[in-house]
């Protein structure tokens, strides 16, 4: 009999007032009993709407049935037929707008905790199972993947399974892309990302770190090295600034810099780790997406007394996940909504001491479909802050496109591709993930990686 409770089995979490002082994971995960109990809430419907909601079409009812039966290793294997990074997706996917949004149980009560169950199966496997030997018949054909974020890792894993010799070129010293430098430890433990990447490496994928493509190799040079096709998955790592006065004062960070120092360089362990990070008593984070939430919650953990999230629209329009907004509030982050910075004010020796803001009201919907924020006359006011973190978005880095003749891009830098095949304007070069779409989600990047792997296989086959 299914478990007809209208609510998800709750997941244990660290207490807000404890966790806002450490970088350990907030959500602690299900026990075996909890997972089985939650799995029994799945009705095993025939038409499986949840699967359609998943960008990589994980066979959700099948793996959940295996969890319910306590066959956890098989559940993991069922997931990884289509998803190579389940421990990550279970944690950071916006399930509420994907698989869980379409769950039948969500019509009366809460949907099945699909993300939580996926996470459970992956964690269980990593803790208890022994990875199986993989036998792959080699094609002796080389493919290059640029970037080791979710899109690159997924594409590389799929191509390796098909028998290709895949090399990933990564600019940083550690693979993982945004999973390593962007999303904080307290949402996504780095050790776990490493383990998940190691499982992909077992398929024979080679990862070369410290390789800035566009500098050390151009794309044409990669073709000359014998690569039959190239997948660009270099992400959207170029931070946008506000373009207001005072943005170069000491104490103003892009969210990318702030989070890279903390996550990749482990500045929260300074001076045991050498990279410093500076956070004052009062921090303003400008923006309303997941990156803004991550920056705000990190600043709190580094000891700031007050952390403000400054967002020019209202909470309803915030692009951040509901769960992250909720967690941020629980941890004491203060939201200043319908507020927009006008200038940053400095001390005589050039450190941030305040931010002048203006109140906003919502007008007619704009091109994005969201109500356009309009400044309220004479509502300027100064808030006292000593650190400002700018989290208003990123665009693709031009290092590759600017050194690759024949690769066309959008005005804002996104690489233009054929939507079906992800082929770029340059033959043999494919692109996907944030490098094409601008900053989006981990799972969409993975979906693009899967699509590209199929298209690359077809392209190389067709050349024979």
Show the site string, 158-177: x = touches other proteins by CB under 8 A, - = not: -------------xxx----
Tell which positions 35-74 bind other proteins, by CB under 8 A. Answer: none
Q: Does 257 bind other proteins (CB under 8 A)?
A: yes
For 60, the enclosing helix (H) or strand (E) is: helix 60-68
Q: Does 404 bind other proteins (CB under 8 A)?
A: no
Please identify, using beta-carbon distances, which residue of 118 and 170 lies nearer to other proteins.
170
Q: Which of 244, 342, 399, 440 binds other proteins (CB under 8 A)?
A: 399
Please identify, using beta-carbon distances, which residue of 375 and 413 lies nearer to other proteins.
413
Please identify, using beta-carbon distances, which residue of 350 and 405 lies nearer to other proteins.
350
Compute the least distance from the CB of residue 241 to other proteins, in Å. Answer: 6
228 contact partners, CB below 8 Å, separation of at least 6: 141, 142, 143, 428, 460, 463
Q: Which of 254, 404, 424, 437 binds other proteins (CB under 8 A)?
A: 254
Please identify, using beta-carbon distances, which residue of 97 and 248 lies nearer to other proteins.
248
Please identify, using beta-carbon distances, which residue of 209 and 410 lies nearer to other proteins.
209
Q: Does 350 bind other proteins (CB under 8 A)?
A: yes
Please identify, using beta-carbon distances, which residue of 214 and 354 lies nearer to other proteins.
214
Stretch that binds other proteins, among 65-73, 147-155, 269-277, 444-452 (CB under 8 A): 269-277
The three-class DSSP label of residue 165 is strand
Q: Please state, in angstroms and rounded to a whole number, the distance separating the CA atoms of residues 357 and 384.
A: 11
Compute the least distance from the CB of residue 318 to other proteins, in Å. Answer: 24
Q: Does 256 bind other proteins (CB under 8 A)?
A: yes
Please say whether the dihedral angle defined by the alpha carbons of residues 27, 30, 31 and 37, taken in this order, is positive or negative.
positive
The CA-based dihedral angle spanning residues 261, 264, 268, 274, taken in that order and rounded to the nearest 10 degrees: -80
179 contact partners, CB below 8 Å, separation of at least 6: 88, 149, 150, 188, 193, 442
Q: Does 260 bind other proteins (CB under 8 A)?
A: yes
**CA–CA distance from 236 to each of 151, 167, 391, 423 (Å)?**
12, 21, 13, 18
How far is CA 71 from its chain centroid? 29
Task: Return the closest-CA partner of residue 387 out of 288, 291, 277.
Answer: 277
Q: Which of 22, 31, 97, 250 binds other proteins (CB under 8 A)?
A: 250
Stretch that binds other proteins, among 90-98, 252-260, 418-426, 436-444 (CB under 8 A): 252-260
The CA-based dihedral angle spanning residues 287, 187, 172, 398, taken in that order and rounded to the nearest 10 degrees: -30
Q: Which of 239, 428, 432, 433 binds other proteins (CB under 8 A)?
A: 239
Please identify, using beta-carbon distances, which residue of 275 and 425 lies nearer to other proteins.
275
Please identify, using beta-carbon distances, which residue of 215 and 376 lies nearer to other proteins.
215
Please identify, using beta-carbon distances, which residue of 265 and 460 lies nearer to other proteins.
265
Please identify, using beta-carbon distances, which residue of 264 and 334 lies nearer to other proteins.
264
Stretch that binds other proteins, among 196-204, 248-256, 357-365, 371-379 (CB under 8 A): 248-256
Q: Which of 15, 191, 349, 419 binds other proteins (CB under 8 A)?
A: 349
Q: Please state, in angstroms and rounded to a whole number, the distance separating the CA atoms of residues 41 and 65.
A: 10
Show the site string, 181-220: x = touches other proteins by CB under 8 A, - = not: ----------------------------xxxx--xxx---
Compute the least distance from the CB of residue 421 to other proteins, in Å. Answer: 28
**CA–CA distance from 185 to each of 43, 221, 246, 263 (Å)?**
34, 37, 31, 7
Q: Which of 248, 408, 410, 418 binds other proteins (CB under 8 A)?
A: 248
Q: Please state, in angstroms and rounded to a whole number, the distance separating the CA atoms of residues 193 and 179.
A: 7
Angle at 255 between CA 251 and CA 261, to 5 degrees: 80
Contact yes or no for 304/279 (Cβ under 8 A): yes
Q: Does 150 bind other proteins (CB under 8 A)?
A: no
Q: Which of 54, 192, 265, 436 binds other proteins (CB under 8 A)?
A: 265
Q: Does 397 bind other proteins (CB under 8 A)?
A: yes
For 442, the enclosing helix (H) or strand (E) is: helix 442-463
Compute how many other C-beta atoms are within 10 angstroms of the C-beta atom of residue 419: 8
The three-class DSSP label of residue 342 is strand
Q: Does 241 bind other proteins (CB under 8 A)?
A: yes
For 341, the enclosing helix (H) or strand (E) is: strand 339-346
Compute how many other C-beta atoms are within 10 angstroms of the C-beta atom of residue 35: 26
Residues lying near other proteins in the complex (CB under 8 A) are found at 171-173, 209-212, 215-217, 237-239, 241, 247-248, 250-251, 253-254, 256-257, 260-261, 265-266, 270-276, 278, 349-350, 397-399
């Amino acid at each position: 009999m299914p478990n007809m409770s209208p609510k998800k089995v709750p997941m244990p979490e660290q207490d807000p007032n404890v966790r806002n002082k450490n970088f350990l994971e907030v959500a602690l995960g299900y026990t075996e009993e909890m997972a089985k109990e939650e799995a029994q809430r799945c009705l095993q419907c025939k038409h499986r709407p949840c699967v359609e909601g998943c960008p990589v079409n994980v066979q959700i009812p099948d793996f959940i049935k295996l969890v319910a039966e306590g066959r956890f290793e098989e559940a993991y294997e069922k997931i990884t037929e289509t998803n190579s990074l389940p421990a990550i997706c279970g944690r950071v996917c916006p399930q509420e707008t994907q698989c869980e949004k379409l769950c039948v149980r969500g019509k009366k009560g809460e949907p099945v905790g699909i993300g939580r169950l996926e996470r459970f199966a992956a964690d269980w496997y990593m803790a208890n199972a022994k990875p199986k030997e993989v036998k792959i018949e080699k094609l002796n054909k080389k493919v290059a993947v640029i970037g080791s974020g979710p899109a690159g890792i997924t594409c590389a894993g799929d191509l390796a399974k098909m028998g290709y010799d895949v090399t990933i070129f990564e600019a940083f010293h550690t693979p993982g892309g945004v999973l390593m430098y962007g999303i904080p430890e307290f949402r996504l433990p780095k050790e776990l990302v490493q383990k998940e990447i190691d499982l992909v490496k077992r398929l024979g994928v080679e990862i070369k770190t410290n390789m800035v493509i566009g500098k050390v190799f151009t794309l044409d040079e990669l073709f000359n090295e014998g690569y039959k096709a190239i997948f660009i998955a270099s992400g959207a790592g170029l931070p946008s600034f506000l373009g207001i006065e005072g943005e170069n004062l000491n104490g103003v960070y892009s969210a990318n810099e702030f989070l890279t120092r903390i996550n990749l360089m482990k500045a929260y362990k300074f001076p045991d780790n050498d990279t410093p990070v500076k956070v004052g008593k009062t921090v303003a984070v400008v923006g309303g997406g997941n990156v803004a939430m991550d920056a705000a919650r990190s600043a709190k953990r580094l000891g700031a007394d007050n952390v403000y999230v400054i967002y020019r629209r209202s909470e309803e329009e915030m692009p951040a996940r509901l769960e992250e907004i909720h967690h941020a509030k629980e941890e004491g982050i203060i939201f200043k909504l319908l507020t927009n910075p006008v200038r940053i004010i400095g001390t005589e020796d050039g450190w941030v001491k305040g931010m002048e803001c203006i109140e906003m009201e919502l007008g007619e919907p704009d091109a994005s479909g969201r109500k356009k924020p309009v400044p309220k006359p004479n509502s300027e006011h100064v808030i006292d802050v000593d650190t400002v973190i700018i989290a208003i978005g990123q665009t693709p880095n031009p290092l590759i496109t600017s050194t690759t003749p024949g690769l066309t891009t959008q005005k804002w830098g996104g690489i233009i591709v054929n939507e079906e095949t992800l082929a770029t304007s340059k033959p043999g070069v494919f692109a996907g993930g944030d490098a094409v779409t601008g900053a989006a989600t981990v799972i969409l990047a993975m979906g693009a990686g899967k699509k590209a792997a199929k298209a690359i296989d077809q392209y190389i086959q067709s050349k024979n």
